[in-house]
Amino acid sequence: MSKFATIVVGLALGTPLVALAQGDVIANTAQASVTESDIATLMKSLSPEGRTRLAADPAAMDRVVRSALVQRAVLAEAKAKGWDKEPQVKSAVEEAQRDVVVRSYLASVNAPPADYPSDAEIQAAYDQNHAAFTAPRAVHLAQIYIAVPPNADAATIDKARKQAADLANRARNGDFAALAKENSQDKASAEKGGDLGFVPETLMVPAVRQAAEALKPGQVSTPVQVPTGFHVVKLIETRDPILRPLTEVKEQIRAFLRAQRTQQNEQAYLVKLGGSAPINEDALKKALAAAQ
């Protein structure tokens, strides 16, 4: 499971990502709620690229919130009915707890020395993996977003298209930022005059990327239709692929090398601990037969 997916599941199931959820309620049911603090914690846990991608996609953000809310509501209902006391559920929870204890203990006893890796080892890893530390081509965009409800009929979609087209025409000869603040239905970017900052091309919705590629700095696109609505985008500037400086990725490399060394130490530790233990094949066959 990816880090992002793990965080979303943790949020949805009520994992204590923060000691106490605070701030305004973003969504709630009678059984559960998702607050500002919940979402802020999730966003901070993502990479900068992940935050940019999620913030630029209102539909995806809505799905995260609704998924969290629904799963929290299910969890609350299940607990209210004593489902967490069911034998098979308790067994699964105990298994998960054992797994956490084992994994955290292994990580602790097999962690490399505090001074690993050295600056020379970090430099070598950087020099040998320039491609991994090269930021992809990125475009600095601003947008006006007009949403379309799920399962909207043709008339609703046509109305949104006409609204987006009118805004695109006005934006070409007017103040794009002012129009975005007043009309864009993506609140996060609307507050900044539609500015999305630099968005890596690899993270862009294909249709929006194609539209941006056809623009010159300062130009505004025609409405770009996506499943959730229409984007009107303005290209501000482009940035070619660039090798990130070592100072920027040093801690990332350090963390990777330490995790890699920990994993290597763990494998050696496990082999030493139980790799040569004899196995009673007859007893194993009986266990397999009993499980049939």
pLDDT digits (tens, 9 = 90+) for 103-134: 999 999 999 999 999 999 999 999 999 999 99
Task: Name the percent of the chain lying above pLDDT 70.
Answer: 92
Q: What is the spatial distance between Cα 142 and Cα 184, in angstroms, rounded to a whole number?
A: 11
CA nearest 103: which of 277, 274, 262, 276?
262
The pLDDT-based confidence of 29 (bands split at 50, 70, 90) is: confident
Q: State both tokens at 30.
A: 């009678």
**Where does the chain show beta strands of DSSP type E?**
25-28, 33-35, 134-135, 138-147, 195-200, 224-226, 229-239, 242-243
Contact 17, 41 (CB under 8 A): yes
H runs (alpha helix) in 110-239:
119-128, 154-173, 176-183, 187-190, 206-213
Residue type at position 240? D
Q: Mean pLDDT for the chain?
A: 89
Task: Quote the DSSP letter at residue 216.
Answer: P
**Domain limits of the chain?**
3-85, 92-132+245-277, 137-240
Q: What is the spatial distance between Cα 4 and Cα 47, in angstroms, rounded to a whole number?
A: 9
pLDDT for res 161: 97
Residue type at position 89? V
Q: What is the spatial distance between Cα 58 and Cα 198, in angstroms, rounded to a whole number?
A: 17
- pTM score above 0.95: no
pLDDT at 71 over 80: yes
Q: State both tokens at 199.
A: 């968005």
Q: State both tokens at 151.
A: 């399962």
pLDDT at 260 over 90: yes
| Lowest model confidence (mean pLDDT) among 10-14, 171-175, 183-187, 199-203 | 10-14
pLDDT for res 3: 44
- Which residues, listed in sequence order, are joined to residue 27 by a DSSP beta bridge? 34
* 54-60 CB contacts, 8 Å cutoff, 24+ apart: 55/188, 55/189, 55/196, 56/143, 56/186, 56/189, 56/196, 56/199, 57/205, 58/145, 58/147, 58/185, 58/186, 58/188, 58/228, 59/147, 59/227, 59/228, 59/229
Q: State both tokens at 49.
A: 């690229």
Q: State both tokens at 69.
A: 């809310």
Q: If residue 202 lies in a helix (H) or strand (E), which one and from where to where?
A: none
pLDDT at 5 over 70: no
Contact 138, 199 (CB under 8 A): yes
pLDDT at 11 over 70: no
Higher pLDDT, 265 or 14: 265
pLDDT for res 44: 85
| Lowest model confidence (mean pLDDT) among 82-86, 232-236, 257-261, 275-279 | 275-279
The pLDDT-based confidence of 19 (bands split at 50, 70, 90) is: very low
Q: State both tokens at 27.
A: 């969504």
Q: How many CA atoms, within 13 angstroms, populate the side-chain half-sphere of residue 75?
A: 15
CA distances from 160 to 149, 153, 264 (A): 10, 11, 56
User: For the domain bounded by 137-240, which CATH number is listed?
Assistant: 3.10.50.40
